[in-house]
């Protein structure tokens, strides 16, 4: 029960970050001069003051129990005066000014089952979504595929043997909580059948004008079914985006027989060299095959290794494909080019080849 | 009811291999949490039947707030009664995701007592995700969080929890203080985070340099990316050092410059800064020798989003350079003009980027009182269908320019 | 005569109550309706305060169905006992 002694507070926002900064960071805030990668997963930042800050980066696993967080805390207390941070890609980072702490810390992390790496020309941890662990609209699981893919690619996380950076991400439906649409390799959960309309419940749970307005291709129309207000769907116009389902739970698209994943390549967000790019469709459909999704694991490894073998130094997946051309990419990757690869939504014409810059 | 873990032969396969296993984590929490035992059971069933078993809730939350709690119910409550309710709480992370162990341990204690004991560190938007509790535990959890100064983040049609890179705390490239800006705007817009009043979500992301470690280009309605206006700083001795240590400066640095604005004569590097695109490549490769200039600030871009509904967008330039110093008055004024317009005219579930596409960037700029500049476009229009608004009228033999 | 926050909150509550089960209203719908109903007598700030009052008092709650709405508290369709 709520304690009556405590006054209820709202709108105070997050704690101020300064209280969580290690003293060496407070002292050198804004004064960092350069950094170097010392070995996989370890870098040093050197300040104008001459101070040195060492960072050890490990995969956190993203879904972690409170006991695991406590174990991280024990390590931070032991080696880093009680401070630690996380990164935008779900890595955990331990920061220390004591160089002698690096190797014992790495040893402890590895014993805990947390690989150290993800810095420099390597694969960093995968950004991903909730999947079947928590989401109502997931067309595939998330954590399971990520685990299987990263188990397989672990060498590229723990070592720095790639031509450039490689970012892999997974979103379990087109809502893309994980915003995978600008990744070197994106795994995207997809539906392939239109919603199954629950006419019994729809009129009670959903506002029909909202439902019809939610469809980007105007495939949903109001209809009376068995005397009840409901909707009908022009199935040929449905592109399985599931926006209607977000607005109305009586229009589920989940379908164990037809749901699966698609694989996208060549996106980036960094402005380094080439401007940011969207990922493009490489493989239109692979089946959901839990627990380890061998088809997906194999496809991703194939793409990583093809790029690693053929790209020039620093060249990201998208930069490499742009240089060699998409026909050569499909040929080298052994992916059959299909109708699904050709865009037919807005501005599709801009994606057609509008020149004779062809390779044979 | 037994405390034993359910049989999960499929999930057990995901405890093998070197990558950290989420199954092991859930099992760890399941020693104390009946919720996690049922979660394992339902997840195993999903793995067998290749389908999820969750229902989306839309009402639960804490008193007074309209965001930060995601309602979730099991579709199989008789079979898995302990996850009949399994709501998520989004907790606003500290800027830059820095913690001390004291604060983290307190969060762990609260979540062990009031929830499932499993978390995401962190969610895609940046919040601490506390994964799974019942409706009755939402207020008590919030009450405990109040005592340790952690507040709830955003969800729904509101300002989503802003996030930033570690900026000046641990990066020499940060062109403005990302953590300070992120904290300032988060505090300034508490009402907009907690009380959804927009057509749809609005995300901020603060990156210190064009490497954009928080992916603001792709995932923020407003992307605030650090940049500099003057010349790249060059430490000539350090360049020589790189060359001496075997770096092929022509191949690795000069030939990768997208503006072709640099040269290496075997002794010195020459940069024609007026053509430099601030892409960061040369600086990334030679961090000891090259650095962003001294006249630093940020480029403000607007409109990126994932595909739903009208297709994915990247952010595009709104202000090519802004000094980005507290209290960020001009930026806040501009932001509030954008919100006013979008709230007034935006459709349900229409992100600001889609809104701009619908009304046209030119009209949008006019409405928010911002002058068009060529930095906003990749190239001028290619079609001649121009909505001319200025023309001459014949007036008693004399031509006079008029504005409509 | 400028309307008070209480008056606006009452008028908004009536709108939300009358629309219950027929149409979900967003905070902006309520604000726009008030600006039209009491033209010149109410501003956005008062509307915002009125919505906050409705929510803080528990008379209304925020809901989310692909967008955020203000509704009368009720048991949701997907909720389990």
ipTM over 0.90: yes
Which phi and psi (to 5°) does residue B11 adopt?
-65, -35
Task: Give the pTM.
Answer: 0.96
Taking the C-alpha atoms of residue A80 and residue A82, their distance in angstroms, rounded to an integer, is 5
* B168, B172, B307 ranked by CB distance to A35: nearest: B172
- pLDDT band at A4, cuts 50/70/90? very low
Taking the C-alpha atoms of residue A277 and residue A186, their distance in angstroms, rounded to an integer, is 13
Length of chain B: 404
- B139 in Cβ contact with A2 (< 8 Å): yes
Using alpha carbons only, what angle is made at residue B280 by residues A42 and A274, rounded to the nearest 5 degrees?
110
User: Which residues have C-beta within 8 Å of that of residue A50, sequence separation ≥ 6?
Assistant: none
* A201, A204, A247 ranked by CB distance to C65: nearest: A247
Give the 3-state secondary structure of residue C1.
coil
- pLDDT band at A294, cuts 50/70/90? very high
Using alpha carbons only, what angle is made at residue A128 by residues A258 and A197, rounded to the nearest 5 degrees?
35
Taking the C-alpha atoms of residue A143 and residue B49, their distance in angstroms, rounded to an integer, is 17
β-strands A228-233, B233-234 pairing: unpaired
B195 and C55 within 8 Å at the Cβ level: the answer is: yes
Which of A175, A207, A245 is the best substitution to test chain C (most C C-beta atoms within 10 A)? A207
180-199 in A: which are within 8 Å (CB) of B? Answer: 181-182
C-alpha distances in Å from residue B120, one per residue of A73, A91, B93: 16, 11, 12
Burial of C59: CB neighbours in 10 Å, binned 0-12, 13-18, 19+? middle
Q: What is the pLDDT of residue B112?
A: 98
Length of chain A: 360
**pLDDT mean across residues, chain C:** 93
B190 and A13 within 8 Å at the Cβ level: the answer is: yes
SS3 of chain C: helix, strand, coil, percent, to 5: 50, 10, 40
Taking the C-alpha atoms of residue B85 and residue A19, their distance in angstroms, rounded to an integer, is 35
User: Which residues have C-beta within 8 Å of that of residue A199, sequence separation ≥ 6?
Assistant: A225, A226, A228, A230
pLDDT above 70 covers a percentage of chain A that reads 98
Calculate how close chain A gets to B241, using CA atoms only, in Å: 14
Q: E-assigned strands of chain A?
A: 32-39, 42-47, 52-59, 63-65, 83-86, 91-96, 127-128, 168-171, 185-190, 220-225, 228-233, 260-265, 280-287
Residue numbers in C near A248 (CB within 8 A)? 65-66
* B85, B158, B348 ranked by CB distance to C80: nearest: B85
Please report the number of interchain residue pairs, chain A to chain C, with beta-carbon separation below 8 angstroms.
Answer: 19
* Torsion of the alpha carbons at C70, C75, C79 and C81, rounded to the nearest 10: 150
228-247 in A: which are within 8 Å (CB) of C? Answer: 243, 246-247
What's the gap between Cα A113 and its chain centre?
22
The tens digit of pLDDT for each residue in B3-36 reads 789 999 999 999 999 999 999 999 999 999 999 9
B222: tokens are 């407003």
**pLDDT mean across residues, chain B:** 96
For residue A8, the chain C residue with the least C-alpha distance is C56
For residue C64, the chain B residue with the least C-alpha distance is B58
What's the gap between Cα C71 and its chain centre?
7
B335: tokens are 């932001």
For residue A157, the chain B residue with the least C-alpha distance is B19
C75: tokens are 């048991």
Q: Which of A161-165, A275-279, A344-348 has the lowest mean pLDDT?
A: A344-348
Residue numbers in B near C78 (CB within 8 A)? 55-58, 71, 73
Is A105 touching B (CB cutoff 8 A)?
A: no
- pLDDT band at A1, cuts 50/70/90? very low
Give the 3-state secondary structure of residue B202.
strand
Chains that touch C (3 or more CB pairs under 8 A): A, B
- A145 in Cβ contact with A279 (< 8 Å): no
B348: tokens are 């349900």
- pLDDT exceeds 80 at position B1: no
Mean pLDDT of B257-285: 97
The tens digit of pLDDT for each residue in B73-124 reads 999 999 999 999 999 999 999 999 999 999 999 999 999 999 999 999 999 9
C-alpha distances in Å from residue B17, one per residue of A28, A150, A160, B8: 40, 9, 20, 17
* B28, B258, B284 ranked by CB distance to A67: nearest: B28
- B190 in Cβ contact with B197 (< 8 Å): no
**Comparing C-alpha atoms, which of B87, B72, B86, B68 is closest to residue B152?**
B68
Cα Rg of chain B (Å, integer): 26
C77 and A247 within 8 Å at the Cβ level: the answer is: no
B5: tokens are 């873990």
Q: What is the pLDDT of residue C76?
A: 81
Is A2 touching B (CB cutoff 8 A)?
A: yes
A14 and B92 within 8 Å at the Cβ level: the answer is: yes
At which residue do the structure tokens 């050709």 appear? A342
- pLDDT band at B404, cuts 50/70/90? very low
Sequence ranges of the domains in chain C: 5-75
- C62 in Cβ contact with C68 (< 8 Å): yes
Q: Which residues pair with B205 in a beta bridge?
A: B163, B223
Give the 3-state secondary structure of residue A65.
strand
List the CATH code of the domain at C5-75. 1.10.10.10
What is the secondary structure of B105-171 as a DSSP string?
HHHHHHHHHHS-SEEEE--TTS-EEEEEE-HHHHHHHHHHHHHTT--B---SSSBPPPEE--GGGT-
Give the 3-state secondary structure of residue A47.
strand
Is B147 touching C (CB cutoff 8 A)?
A: no
Q: What is the pLDDT of residue B315?
A: 98
The tens digit of pLDDT for each residue in B202-250 reads 999 999 999 999 999 999 999 999 999 999 999 999 999 999 999 999 9
Taking the C-alpha atoms of residue A344 and residue A347, their distance in angstroms, rounded to an integer, is 8
Q: What is the pLDDT of residue C79?
A: 84
Is B349 touching C (CB cutoff 8 A)?
A: yes
- B58 in Cβ contact with B71 (< 8 Å): yes
């Amino acid at each position: 029960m709520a304690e009556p002694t405590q006054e209820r507070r709202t709108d105070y926002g997050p704690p101020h970050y300064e209280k969580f900064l290690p003293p060496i960071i407070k002292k050198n805030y804004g004064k960092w001069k350069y950094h170097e990668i010392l070995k996989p997963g370890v870098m040093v930042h050197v300040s104008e003051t001459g101070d040195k800050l060492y960072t050890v980066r490990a995969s956190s696993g993203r879904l972690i129990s409170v006991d695991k967080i406590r174990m991280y805390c024990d390590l931070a207390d032991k080696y880093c005066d009680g401070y630690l941070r996380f990164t935008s890609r779900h890595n955990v980072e331990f920061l220390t000014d004591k160089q002698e702490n690096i190797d014992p810390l790495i040893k402890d992390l590895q014993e805990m089952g947390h690989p150290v790496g993800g810095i420099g020309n390597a694969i960093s941890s995968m950004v991903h979504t909730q999947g079947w662990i928590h989401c109502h609209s997931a067309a595939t699981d998330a954590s399971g595929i990520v685990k299987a893919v990263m188990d397989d690619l672990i060498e590229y996380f723990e070592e720095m043997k790639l031509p450039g950076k490689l970012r892999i991400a997974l979103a379990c439906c087109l809502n893309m909580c994980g915003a995978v649409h600008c990744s070197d390799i994106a795994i995207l959960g997809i539906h392939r059948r239109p919603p199954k309309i629950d006419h019994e419940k729809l009129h009670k749970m959903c506002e029909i004008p909202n439902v019809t307005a939610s469809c980007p291709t105007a495939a949903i129309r109001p209809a009376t079914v068995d005397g009840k207000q409901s909707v009908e769907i022009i199935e040929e116009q449905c592109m399985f985006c599931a926006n209607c389902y977000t607005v109305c739970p009586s229009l589920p698209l989940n379908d164990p027989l037809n749901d699966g994943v698609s694989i996208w390549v060549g996106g980036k967000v960094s402005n380094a060299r080439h401007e940011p790019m969207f990922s493009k469709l490489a493989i239109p459909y692979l089946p959901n095959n839990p627990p380890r999704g061998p088809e997906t694991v194999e496809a991703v490894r194939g793409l990583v290794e093809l790029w690693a073998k053929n790209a020039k130094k620093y060249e990201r997946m998208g930069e490499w494909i742009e240089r060699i051309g998409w026909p050569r990419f499909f040929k080298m990757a052994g992916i059959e080019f299909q109708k699904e690869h050709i865009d037919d939504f807005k501005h599709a014409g801009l994606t057609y080849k509008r020149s004779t810059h062809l390779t044979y | 009811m037994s405390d034993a873990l359910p049989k999960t032969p499929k999930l057990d396969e995901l405890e093998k291999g070197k990558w950290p296993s989420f199954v092991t984590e859930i099992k760890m929490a399941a020693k104390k949490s009946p919720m996690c035992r049922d979660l394992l059971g339902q997840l195993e069933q999903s793995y067998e039947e290749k389908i999820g078993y969750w229902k989306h809730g839309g009402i639960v939350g804490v008193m007074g707030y309209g965001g930060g709690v995601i309602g979730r119910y099991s579709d199989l409550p008789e079979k898995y009664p302990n996850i009949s309710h399994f709501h998520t709480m989004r907790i606003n992370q500290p800027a830059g995701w820095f913690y001390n162990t004291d604060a983290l341990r307190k969060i762990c204690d609260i979540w062990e007592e009031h929830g499932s004991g499993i978390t995401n560190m962190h969610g895609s938007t940046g919040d601490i995700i506390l994964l799974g509790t019942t409706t009755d535990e939402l207020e008590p959890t919030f009450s405990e969080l109040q005592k340790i100064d952690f507040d709830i983040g955003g969800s729904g049609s509101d300002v989503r929890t802003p996030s930033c890179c570690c900026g000046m705390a641990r990066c020499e490239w940060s062109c403005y203080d990302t953590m300070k800006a992120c904290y300032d705007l988060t505090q300034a817009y508490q009402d907009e985070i907690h009380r959804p009043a927009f057509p749809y979500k609005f995300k901020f992301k603060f990156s210190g340099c064009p490497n954009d470690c928080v992916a603001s280009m792709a995932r923020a309605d407003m992307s605030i990316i650090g940049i500099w206006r003057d010349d790249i700083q060059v430490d000539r001795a350090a360049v020589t050092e790189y060359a001496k240590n075997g770096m092929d400066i022509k191949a690795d640095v000069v030939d990768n410059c997208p503006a072709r604005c640099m040269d290496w004569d075997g002794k010195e590097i020459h940069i024609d800064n007026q053509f430099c695109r601030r892409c960061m490549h040369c600086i990334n490769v030679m961090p000891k020798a090259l650095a962003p200039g001294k006249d630093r600030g940020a480029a403000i871009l607007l409109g990126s989003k994932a595909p739903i509904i009208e297709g994915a967008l990247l952010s595009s330039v709104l202000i090519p350079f802004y000094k980005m110093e507290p209290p960020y008055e001009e930026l806040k004024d501009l932001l509030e003009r954008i919100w006013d317009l979008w709230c007034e005219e935006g459709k349900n579930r229409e992100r600001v980027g889609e809104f701009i596409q619908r009304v046209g960037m030119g009209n949008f700029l006019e409405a928010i009182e911002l002058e068009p500049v060529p930095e906003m476009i990749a190239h001028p229009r290619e079609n001649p269908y121009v909505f001319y608004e200025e023309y001459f009228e014949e007036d008693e033999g004399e031509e006079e320019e008029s504005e409509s | 005569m400028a309307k008070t926050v209480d008056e606006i909150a009452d008028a908004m509550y009536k709108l939300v109550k009358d629309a219950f089960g027929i149409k979900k209203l967003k905070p902006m719908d309520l604000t726009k309706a008030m600006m039209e109903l009491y033209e010149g007598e109410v501003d956005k700030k008062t509307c915002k305060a009125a919505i906050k009052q409705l929510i803080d008092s528990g008379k209304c709650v925020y809901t989310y169905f692909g967008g955020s709405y203000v509704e009368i508290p009720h048991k949701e369709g997907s909720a389990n006992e």
